[in-house]
Amino acid sequence: MLEILLNIIFLLTFPFLFIGIINKTKAFWAGRKGASVFQPFYDFIKLLKKGEVISATTSFVFAISPSLTFASVVFAGLLVPVFNHRAILSFEGSFILFAYILALGKFFSLIAAMDTGSSFEGMGASREASFSTLVEPAFFIIMASIIALSGNYTFQSLSLILQNSGSFGYLIIILSVFALFIMMLVEGCRVPVDDPNTHLELTMIHEVMVLDNSGSDLAFILYGSGMKMVILASLIANLIIPADLSLFYSVIAFVGIIFILAIIIGTLESSFARLRMTHVFEFIFTMSSISLIILSLTMISMNKHGG
């Protein structure tokens, strides 16, 4: 019970902190004092209090989409193990539901962008749809390899890699962490794929899709995208934290890893420029190639140990 409660509290509060820490880190590197780490939360409350301006071109799709996308992210969060490697909802093959429910949210955010009839938003939707086609197969290769190694069909498999694979396991963990980190950058629309601070519509991907959203809808969208990053960061933390840690230590390790990831992202954003749009595919391809390396390592280590 305590675990479930901790899990839900984590899921609901950390998105604000995660974005807050990224912004604070960026401010630090820029030599500014920066806003408080709780600023995203204040923004969220502020937006909830506001009314909305809704484009006359739009239909019911635009009205339901932000809520549906947010619901899909929250639901995906319930499937991911947090602290102690246990998810609230856990069953065989739950990673498939995880990926597909996030895809459902993406489906609706894409059509909501197209619903406004704006070329800017259409452009953003087109880019987002194209880029995400490459991420999912790589994610599935990584998850399938990890499942093959650990023999466990739930998300718990993330923490069981070392059991059956010996020294290769460390290599696989490092590569998986790196690949999932790239996935986090792509799905969270951060530098070098997309710049959340850009102010020119033509260069945006995710930001341009939500140009017409305001008020509580915008609040849900921002909260949802923060939560998505935290969920993906949790997957990374699951890979790193060993399976047999006690609850107390695993909470500390978990929170620590999430904060470190936020700081890394902030540092990356301060030191890198975004890629040219045509090079984004190549960047995402690094994730695909890493996933194929993970697959081959899995095969070698299974031949050595299990086979």
Partner 1 sequence: MKYFYIGIFLIFLGGLISTAFAEKLKAKIVSLFSGLGMVFVLIPALNVLFTGNTISKNIYFPEPIGKVNFLIDPLSAFFILVISVMCFIGTIYAIGYIKPYLNKNKLTSSHFFFLSVLITSMLLVVTVQNALFFLIVWEMMSLSSFFLVIFENEKKEVISAGINYLITMHISILFIIAGFIILTLKSGNLDFASFKQVFELNNSLANMIFIFLFIGFGIKAGFVPFHTWLPKAHPAAPSHVSGIMSGVMIKTGIYGILRILSLMSIPSVEISYFVLIISVISALFGVLYAIAQHDLKRLLAYHSVENIGIIGIGIGIGMLGLAYHNNLIAILGFSGGILHILNHSIFKELLFFAAGAVYNKTHTKNIEKLGGLIKTMPYTAAFFLIGSVAITGLPPLNGFISEFLIYLGMLHNFEIKSPVVLIISVLAIASLAFVGTMALLCFTKAFSVVFLGNPRSEEAESVKEEVSPIMLIPMGILALFTFLIGLFPQYALFLVKNPVYTIISMKETVKALDCHVASLLAMTGKAGLCFIGLFLLIYALRTLLLKNKNVCSYKTWDCGYQTGNNRMQYTASSYASPFLSFLKPFFVKEFDTKKPKGLFPKEAHFELHIHDIFEFYLINPVINANKKFLEQFYWIQSGSTQQYILYGLVFLIIALVGTIF
* Residues 37-76, interacting with partner 1 (CB under 8 A): 48, 50-61, 64, 66-68, 70-72, 74-75
Give the whole-angstrom CA distance, residue 213 versus residue 203. Answer: 19
**CA–CA gap between residue 107 and residue 95 (Å, rounded):** 18
Minimal distance in Å, beta carbon 304 to partner 1?
A: 11
Nearer to partner 1, 82 or 101 (CB): 101
Beta bridge partner(s), residue 82: 86
| 34 vs 122, beta carbon nearer partner 1 | 122
Q: How far is the CB of 287 from partner 1 (least distance, A)?
A: 12
Instruction: Mention every residue, 6+ apart, whose C-beta is less than 8 A from residue 194.
Output: 204, 205, 206, 207, 274
Among 159, 165, 225, 298, binds partner 1 (CB under 8 A): 298
CA distances from 288 to 81, 110, 133 (A): 24, 23, 11
Interacting positions 198-217 with partner 1 (CB under 8 A): 201, 211-212, 215-217
| Residues in 20-39 at the binding interface with partner 1, rule: CB under 8 A | none
Structure tokens at 176: 């998986």
Applying CB under 8 A, among 11, 22, 141, 160 the residue interacting with partner 1 is 141
Backbone dihedral angles phi then psi of residue 80, each to the nearest 5 degrees? -95, 135
Question: C-beta of 275: minimal distance to partner 1 in Å?
Answer: 14
Distance of CA 199 to the CA centre of its chain: 23
Least Å from the CB of residue 87 to partner 1: 12
Q: Does the protein bind partner 1 through residue 4 (CB under 8 A)?
A: no
133 binds partner 1 (CB under 8 A): yes
Cβ proximity to partner 1, 5 vs 56, nearer residue: 56
How large is the greatest C-alpha to C-alpha distance in the chain, in angstroms? 63
Q: Choose which of 35, 99, 162, 253 interacts with partner 1 (CB under 8 A).
A: 99
Q: Check residue 138 for interaction with partner 1 (CB under 8 A).
A: yes
Facing residues of 86 across strands? 82
Q: Which residues, numbered 262-291, are part of the site for partner 1 (CB under 8 A)? A: 277, 281, 291
Which is closer to partner 1, CB of 22 or CB of 179? 179
Residue 256's closest CA among 272, 245, 268? 245
Distance between CA atoms of residues 209 and 215, nearest Å: 15
Give residues 165-204 in contact with partner 1 (rule: CB under 8 A): 201
Write the CB contacts of 77 (distance below 8 Å, at least 6 apart in sequence): 11, 227, 230, 231
